[in-house]
Amino acid sequence: MTWNWEQAGWPNFAYDSKALGPLEQLFLLRSGEFVGACKHIGADDQETLKIELISDEAVKTSEIEGEILNRDSVRSSLRQQLGLGPEAPGVKPAERGISKMMVDLYRNYAAALTDRTVLDWHSMLLTGDTSIRVIGGYRTHPEPMQVVSGPIHKRTVHFEAPPSDRMADEMKRFIAWFNDTAPRGKTPLPALTRASLAHLHFVCIHPFEDGNGRIGRALSEKALAQNLGRPSLIAMAYTIERERKDCYAALERNNKDLEISGWMKYFANTILEAQNNTIKRVDFTVAKAKFYERLRGKLNERQDKVVARMFREGIDGFKGGLSAENYISISKTSRATATRDLQDLVAMGAFTKTGELRHTRYALNLAKEIGGENV
Protein backbone atom coordinates (compact mmCIF):
# COMPACT_ATOMS: atom_id res chain seq x y z
CA MET A 1 0.00 0.00 0.00
CA THR A 2 1.21 3.51 -0.82
CA TRP A 3 0.85 6.23 1.82
CA ASN A 4 0.57 9.95 1.07
CA TRP A 5 4.15 10.72 2.18
CA GLU A 6 5.48 8.17 -0.35
CA GLN A 7 3.97 10.00 -3.31
CA ALA A 8 5.59 12.56 -5.57
CA GLY A 9 4.61 16.03 -4.49
CA TRP A 10 4.40 15.30 -0.74
CA PRO A 11 3.45 17.33 1.25
CA ASN A 12 1.71 19.53 -1.34
CA PHE A 13 -1.89 18.64 -0.57
CA ALA A 14 -4.70 19.38 -3.03
CA TYR A 15 -8.24 20.36 -1.98
CA ASP A 16 -11.28 22.35 -3.12
CA SER A 17 -10.64 25.78 -1.59
CA LYS A 18 -13.86 27.24 -3.02
CA ALA A 19 -15.95 24.74 -1.05
CA LEU A 20 -14.34 26.00 2.15
CA GLY A 21 -15.17 29.65 1.47
CA PRO A 22 -18.65 29.70 3.07
CA LEU A 23 -17.33 27.76 6.08
CA GLU A 24 -14.51 30.27 6.56
CA GLN A 25 -17.04 33.12 6.56
CA LEU A 26 -19.24 31.35 9.08
CA PHE A 27 -16.25 30.79 11.35
CA LEU A 28 -15.43 34.50 11.36
CA LEU A 29 -19.08 35.41 11.99
CA ARG A 30 -19.33 33.06 14.96
CA SER A 31 -16.02 34.33 16.30
CA GLY A 32 -17.64 37.75 16.53
CA GLU A 33 -20.66 36.21 18.27
CA PHE A 34 -18.36 34.60 20.84
CA VAL A 35 -16.66 37.89 21.63
CA GLY A 36 -20.02 39.63 21.88
CA ALA A 37 -21.46 36.96 24.19
CA CYS A 38 -18.45 37.18 26.50
CA LYS A 39 -19.13 40.88 27.06
CA HIS A 40 -22.23 39.89 29.02
CA ILE A 41 -20.15 37.93 31.54
CA GLY A 42 -18.64 39.55 34.63
CA ALA A 43 -14.88 39.51 35.16
CA ASP A 44 -15.00 36.75 37.80
CA ASP A 45 -17.27 34.57 35.66
CA GLN A 46 -15.02 35.15 32.63
CA GLU A 47 -12.06 33.82 34.61
CA THR A 48 -14.10 30.82 35.72
CA LEU A 49 -15.28 30.15 32.16
CA LYS A 50 -11.71 30.35 30.86
CA ILE A 51 -10.54 27.76 33.40
CA GLU A 52 -13.51 25.49 32.61
CA LEU A 53 -12.99 25.67 28.84
CA ILE A 54 -9.25 25.01 29.05
CA SER A 55 -9.61 22.24 31.63
CA ASP A 56 -12.32 20.51 29.61
CA GLU A 57 -10.09 20.60 26.54
CA ALA A 58 -7.20 19.20 28.56
CA VAL A 59 -9.32 16.34 29.90
CA LYS A 60 -11.01 15.56 26.57
CA THR A 61 -7.86 15.69 24.41
CA SER A 62 -6.37 13.11 26.79
CA GLU A 63 -9.56 11.05 26.85
CA ILE A 64 -9.47 10.75 23.05
CA GLU A 65 -6.17 8.90 23.50
CA GLY A 66 -7.62 6.65 26.20
CA GLU A 67 -6.08 8.53 29.14
CA ILE A 68 -8.62 9.38 31.85
CA LEU A 69 -7.62 12.36 34.01
CA ASN A 70 -9.15 13.83 37.14
CA ARG A 71 -10.98 17.00 36.09
CA ASP A 72 -10.61 18.69 39.49
CA SER A 73 -6.87 18.01 39.54
CA VAL A 74 -6.45 19.42 36.04
CA ARG A 75 -8.46 22.51 37.01
CA SER A 76 -6.35 22.98 40.15
CA SER A 77 -3.11 22.68 38.19
CA LEU A 78 -4.38 25.15 35.59
CA ARG A 79 -5.21 27.69 38.27
CA GLN A 80 -1.71 27.30 39.69
CA GLN A 81 -0.14 27.65 36.23
CA LEU A 82 -2.14 30.84 35.64
CA GLY A 83 -1.18 32.28 39.02
CA LEU A 84 -4.69 32.03 40.48
CA GLY A 85 -3.91 29.86 43.49
CA PRO A 86 -1.88 26.92 44.81
CA GLU A 87 -2.08 23.48 43.27
CA ALA A 88 -4.08 20.98 45.30
CA PRO A 89 -2.28 17.91 46.72
CA GLY A 90 -2.31 14.72 44.69
CA VAL A 91 -2.08 16.14 41.16
CA LYS A 92 -0.46 13.50 38.95
CA PRO A 93 2.32 14.21 36.39
CA ALA A 94 -0.03 13.61 33.43
CA GLU A 95 -2.55 16.12 34.82
CA ARG A 96 0.13 18.69 35.54
CA GLY A 97 1.75 18.10 32.15
CA ILE A 98 -1.36 18.62 30.02
CA SER A 99 -2.16 21.71 32.11
CA LYS A 100 1.28 23.16 31.39
CA MET A 101 0.87 22.52 27.67
CA MET A 102 -2.58 24.12 27.54
CA VAL A 103 -1.40 27.20 29.46
CA ASP A 104 1.62 27.54 27.17
CA LEU A 105 -0.71 27.32 24.16
CA TYR A 106 -3.03 29.94 25.70
CA ARG A 107 -0.27 32.38 26.60
CA ASN A 108 2.04 31.98 23.61
CA TYR A 109 -0.36 31.34 20.75
CA ALA A 110 1.01 34.32 18.79
CA ALA A 111 4.63 33.18 18.90
CA ALA A 112 6.14 31.56 15.81
CA LEU A 113 6.24 27.77 15.87
CA THR A 114 9.66 26.23 16.53
CA ASP A 115 11.09 22.80 17.22
CA ARG A 116 11.40 23.87 20.84
CA THR A 117 7.64 24.53 21.01
CA VAL A 118 6.59 21.01 20.05
CA LEU A 119 9.48 19.33 21.90
CA ASP A 120 8.59 21.20 25.10
CA TRP A 121 4.94 20.22 24.69
CA HIS A 122 6.01 16.61 24.31
CA SER A 123 8.09 16.83 27.49
CA MET A 124 5.16 18.35 29.37
CA LEU A 125 2.77 15.63 28.22
CA LEU A 126 4.95 12.58 28.78
CA THR A 127 7.36 13.35 31.60
CA GLY A 128 7.52 10.29 33.82
CA ASP A 129 6.16 7.88 31.21
CA THR A 130 8.65 5.03 31.37
CA SER A 131 7.20 3.31 28.29
CA ILE A 132 8.48 6.06 25.96
CA ARG A 133 12.10 5.83 24.81
CA VAL A 134 12.48 9.43 23.67
CA ILE A 135 10.67 12.21 25.57
CA GLY A 136 11.15 15.78 24.40
CA GLY A 137 12.68 14.59 21.14
CA TYR A 138 11.59 13.20 17.80
CA ARG A 139 11.42 9.43 17.51
CA THR A 140 14.59 7.56 16.59
CA HIS A 141 13.58 3.88 16.58
CA PRO A 142 14.39 1.99 13.35
CA GLU A 143 11.19 -0.08 13.23
CA PRO A 144 8.20 1.32 11.29
CA MET A 145 5.90 3.75 13.12
CA GLN A 146 2.46 2.27 12.57
CA VAL A 147 -1.08 3.01 13.71
CA VAL A 148 -2.65 -0.40 14.25
CA SER A 149 -5.65 -2.11 15.79
CA GLY A 150 -6.84 -5.63 16.47
CA PRO A 151 -5.25 -8.63 18.21
CA ILE A 152 -1.52 -9.30 17.82
CA HIS A 153 -2.10 -12.28 15.52
CA LYS A 154 -4.36 -10.28 13.21
CA ARG A 155 -3.24 -6.64 13.20
CA THR A 156 -4.84 -4.06 10.92
CA VAL A 157 -2.42 -1.33 9.83
CA HIS A 158 -4.34 1.94 9.47
CA PHE A 159 -1.29 4.03 8.69
CA GLU A 160 2.48 3.83 8.51
CA ALA A 161 4.39 7.09 9.03
CA PRO A 162 7.65 8.18 7.41
CA PRO A 163 10.78 6.49 8.86
CA SER A 164 12.37 7.99 11.96
CA ASP A 165 15.49 9.14 10.11
CA ARG A 166 13.32 11.60 8.18
CA MET A 167 11.83 13.31 11.25
CA ALA A 168 14.24 16.26 11.43
CA ASP A 169 13.70 17.16 7.78
CA GLU A 170 9.95 16.53 7.85
CA MET A 171 9.47 18.72 10.93
CA LYS A 172 11.71 21.47 9.57
CA ARG A 173 9.52 21.62 6.49
CA PHE A 174 6.30 21.46 8.52
CA ILE A 175 7.37 24.26 10.88
CA ALA A 176 8.41 26.46 7.95
CA TRP A 177 5.01 25.86 6.31
CA PHE A 178 3.15 26.61 9.56
CA ASN A 179 4.91 29.95 9.99
CA ASP A 180 4.71 30.90 6.31
CA THR A 181 0.92 30.35 6.30
CA ALA A 182 0.34 32.47 9.42
CA PRO A 183 -1.58 35.76 8.96
CA ARG A 184 1.68 37.71 8.61
CA GLY A 185 3.58 34.95 6.85
CA LYS A 186 4.72 34.72 3.24
CA THR A 187 1.67 32.75 2.08
CA PRO A 188 -1.17 33.27 4.60
CA LEU A 189 -4.11 30.88 4.60
CA PRO A 190 -7.63 31.27 6.03
CA ALA A 191 -8.25 29.98 9.56
CA LEU A 192 -10.13 26.72 8.92
CA THR A 193 -7.95 25.80 5.95
CA ARG A 194 -4.73 26.28 7.89
CA ALA A 195 -5.93 24.49 11.03
CA SER A 196 -7.23 21.51 9.02
CA LEU A 197 -4.04 21.18 6.98
CA ALA A 198 -1.86 21.54 10.08
CA HIS A 199 -3.60 18.68 11.87
CA LEU A 200 -3.49 16.22 8.99
CA HIS A 201 0.07 17.08 7.94
CA PHE A 202 1.40 16.76 11.48
CA VAL A 203 -0.25 13.44 12.33
CA CYS A 204 0.89 12.00 9.00
CA ILE A 205 4.49 12.87 9.93
CA HIS A 206 3.81 11.32 13.38
CA PRO A 207 7.11 12.62 14.78
CA PHE A 208 6.76 11.22 18.32
CA GLU A 209 6.42 7.78 19.82
CA ASP A 210 3.27 9.00 21.59
CA GLY A 211 1.36 12.25 22.01
CA ASN A 212 0.95 13.03 18.30
CA GLY A 213 -2.84 13.40 18.46
CA ARG A 214 -2.79 15.76 21.44
CA ILE A 215 -0.03 17.91 19.96
CA GLY A 216 -1.73 17.87 16.54
CA ARG A 217 -4.94 19.24 18.06
CA ALA A 218 -2.93 21.87 19.96
CA LEU A 219 -1.32 22.97 16.70
CA SER A 220 -4.75 23.37 15.10
CA GLU A 221 -5.84 25.51 18.04
CA LYS A 222 -2.64 27.57 17.77
CA ALA A 223 -3.39 28.14 14.09
CA LEU A 224 -6.95 29.26 14.83
CA ALA A 225 -5.78 31.59 17.61
CA GLN A 226 -3.16 33.19 15.38
CA ASN A 227 -5.72 33.80 12.65
CA LEU A 228 -8.16 35.30 15.17
CA GLY A 229 -5.51 37.31 17.00
CA ARG A 230 -6.58 35.93 20.39
CA PRO A 231 -6.89 32.55 22.16
CA SER A 232 -9.72 30.69 20.49
CA LEU A 233 -10.85 28.80 23.64
CA ILE A 234 -12.59 26.52 21.18
CA ALA A 235 -14.07 23.20 22.32
CA MET A 236 -12.23 21.15 19.69
CA ALA A 237 -11.26 18.09 21.74
CA TYR A 238 -14.61 18.25 23.55
CA THR A 239 -16.32 17.98 20.16
CA ILE A 240 -14.01 15.36 18.62
CA GLU A 241 -14.22 13.11 21.67
CA ARG A 242 -17.98 12.78 21.21
CA GLU A 243 -17.48 11.23 17.76
CA ARG A 244 -13.87 10.10 17.89
CA LYS A 245 -14.48 7.18 15.52
CA ASP A 246 -15.51 9.67 12.83
CA CYS A 247 -12.21 11.51 13.24
CA TYR A 248 -10.16 8.32 13.01
CA ALA A 249 -12.14 7.25 9.95
CA ALA A 250 -11.63 10.63 8.26
CA LEU A 251 -7.89 10.45 8.91
CA GLU A 252 -7.71 6.95 7.48
CA ARG A 253 -9.64 7.94 4.37
CA ASN A 254 -7.17 10.75 3.71
CA ASN A 255 -3.74 9.25 4.49
CA LYS A 256 -3.21 7.49 1.15
CA ASP A 257 -3.54 10.39 -1.27
CA LEU A 258 -2.58 14.04 -1.55
CA GLU A 259 -6.11 15.04 -2.61
CA ILE A 260 -7.78 15.73 0.75
CA SER A 261 -10.98 17.67 0.03
CA GLY A 262 -12.90 15.15 2.15
CA TRP A 263 -10.68 15.75 5.16
CA MET A 264 -10.79 19.52 4.77
CA LYS A 265 -14.59 19.55 4.71
CA TYR A 266 -14.83 17.14 7.65
CA PHE A 267 -12.37 18.99 9.89
CA ALA A 268 -13.65 22.48 8.98
CA ASN A 269 -17.16 21.39 9.97
CA THR A 270 -15.79 19.86 13.16
CA ILE A 271 -14.22 23.19 14.07
CA LEU A 272 -17.51 24.97 13.38
CA GLU A 273 -19.33 22.50 15.61
CA ALA A 274 -16.69 23.04 18.29
CA GLN A 275 -17.13 26.79 17.94
CA ASN A 276 -20.89 26.39 18.35
CA ASN A 277 -20.35 24.29 21.48
CA THR A 278 -18.12 27.02 22.89
CA ILE A 279 -20.80 29.66 22.29
CA LYS A 280 -23.30 27.39 24.05
CA ARG A 281 -20.91 27.24 27.01
CA VAL A 282 -20.80 31.04 27.13
CA ASP A 283 -24.59 31.23 26.97
CA PHE A 284 -24.77 28.62 29.72
CA THR A 285 -22.47 30.71 31.93
CA VAL A 286 -24.65 33.78 31.38
CA ALA A 287 -27.75 31.70 32.16
CA LYS A 288 -26.15 30.38 35.33
CA ALA A 289 -25.57 33.92 36.63
CA LYS A 290 -29.16 34.90 35.79
CA PHE A 291 -30.50 31.71 37.39
CA TYR A 292 -28.78 32.45 40.69
CA GLU A 293 -29.91 36.07 40.51
CA ARG A 294 -33.53 34.95 39.98
CA LEU A 295 -33.39 32.58 42.94
CA ARG A 296 -31.20 34.62 45.28
CA GLY A 297 -32.08 33.88 48.92
CA LYS A 298 -34.58 31.14 48.02
CA LEU A 299 -32.35 28.04 48.10
CA ASN A 300 -31.53 26.28 51.34
CA GLU A 301 -28.06 24.81 51.91
CA ARG A 302 -29.01 21.36 50.60
CA GLN A 303 -30.69 22.72 47.51
CA ASP A 304 -27.78 25.04 46.80
CA LYS A 305 -25.36 22.11 47.00
CA VAL A 306 -27.36 20.00 44.53
CA VAL A 307 -27.91 22.89 42.11
CA ALA A 308 -24.17 23.63 42.13
CA ARG A 309 -23.47 19.96 41.42
CA MET A 310 -25.88 20.01 38.47
CA PHE A 311 -24.30 23.15 37.01
CA ARG A 312 -20.93 21.41 37.13
CA GLU A 313 -22.23 18.97 34.51
CA GLY A 314 -22.31 21.85 32.01
CA ILE A 315 -24.38 22.04 28.84
CA ASP A 316 -24.84 18.26 28.63
CA GLY A 317 -26.71 18.27 31.92
CA PHE A 318 -26.95 15.59 34.59
CA LYS A 319 -26.69 12.25 32.80
CA GLY A 320 -30.09 10.59 32.75
CA GLY A 321 -31.61 13.45 34.74
CA LEU A 322 -31.50 13.98 38.50
CA SER A 323 -33.38 11.36 40.53
CA ALA A 324 -34.47 11.50 44.15
CA GLU A 325 -31.72 8.99 44.91
CA ASN A 326 -29.16 11.35 43.36
CA TYR A 327 -30.50 14.20 45.49
CA ILE A 328 -30.24 12.13 48.68
CA SER A 329 -26.68 11.07 47.82
CA ILE A 330 -25.46 14.58 46.99
CA SER A 331 -27.19 16.43 49.83
CA LYS A 332 -26.70 13.69 52.47
CA THR A 333 -30.27 14.06 53.66
CA SER A 334 -33.28 11.84 54.36
CA ARG A 335 -35.80 10.75 51.74
CA ALA A 336 -38.58 12.78 53.32
CA THR A 337 -36.46 15.94 53.33
CA ALA A 338 -35.32 15.29 49.77
CA THR A 339 -38.94 14.95 48.63
CA ARG A 340 -39.86 18.30 50.23
CA ASP A 341 -36.77 19.99 48.78
CA LEU A 342 -37.47 18.72 45.28
CA GLN A 343 -41.12 19.76 45.41
CA ASP A 344 -40.01 23.18 46.56
CA LEU A 345 -37.44 23.48 43.75
CA VAL A 346 -40.11 22.67 41.16
CA ALA A 347 -42.59 25.10 42.74
CA MET A 348 -40.10 27.98 42.71
CA GLY A 349 -39.17 27.30 39.08
CA ALA A 350 -35.62 26.09 39.71
CA PHE A 351 -36.26 22.54 38.43
CA THR A 352 -38.53 20.92 35.87
CA LYS A 353 -39.98 17.49 36.54
CA THR A 354 -40.60 14.59 34.14
CA GLY A 355 -41.81 11.04 34.68
CA GLU A 356 -43.60 9.46 37.63
CA LEU A 357 -42.71 7.42 40.71
CA ARG A 358 -39.28 5.78 40.40
CA HIS A 359 -38.91 7.17 36.87
CA THR A 360 -39.22 10.77 38.05
CA ARG A 361 -36.33 12.95 36.93
CA TYR A 362 -35.45 16.60 37.46
CA ALA A 363 -33.53 19.11 35.36
CA LEU A 364 -32.38 22.70 35.83
CA ASN A 365 -35.06 25.05 34.56
CA LEU A 366 -33.20 27.55 32.39
CA ALA A 367 -36.16 28.32 30.13
CA LYS A 368 -36.08 31.99 31.13
CA GLU A 369 -32.30 32.21 30.72
CA ILE A 370 -31.59 30.11 27.59
CA GLY A 371 -34.39 30.19 25.03
CA GLY A 372 -36.51 27.44 26.55
CA GLU A 373 -33.77 24.87 27.27
CA ASN A 374 -33.48 22.73 30.39
CA VAL A 375 -30.37 20.83 31.47
Query: Over the stretch 311-345, which tens digit does the pLDDT of each residue have?
Result: 988 887 888 899 999 999 999 999 999 999 999 99
Domains of the chain and any CATH numbers: 4-283 (1.10.3290.10), 298-364 (1.10.10.10)
Tell me the pLDDT tens digit for each residue of 222-273: 999 999 999 999 999 999 999 999 999 999 999 999 999 999 999 999 999 9
pLDDT at site 228:
96
User: CA geometry: angle at 314 spanning 70 and 336, to 5°?
Assistant: 95
C-alpha angle 254-257-259 in degrees, rounded to nearest 5: 85
Count of Cβ atoms closer than 10 Å to residue 45 Cβ: 16
167: amino acid identity, one letter:
M
Radius of gyration of the chain (CA): 23
Confidence of residue 19 (pLDDT cuts 50, 70, 90): very high
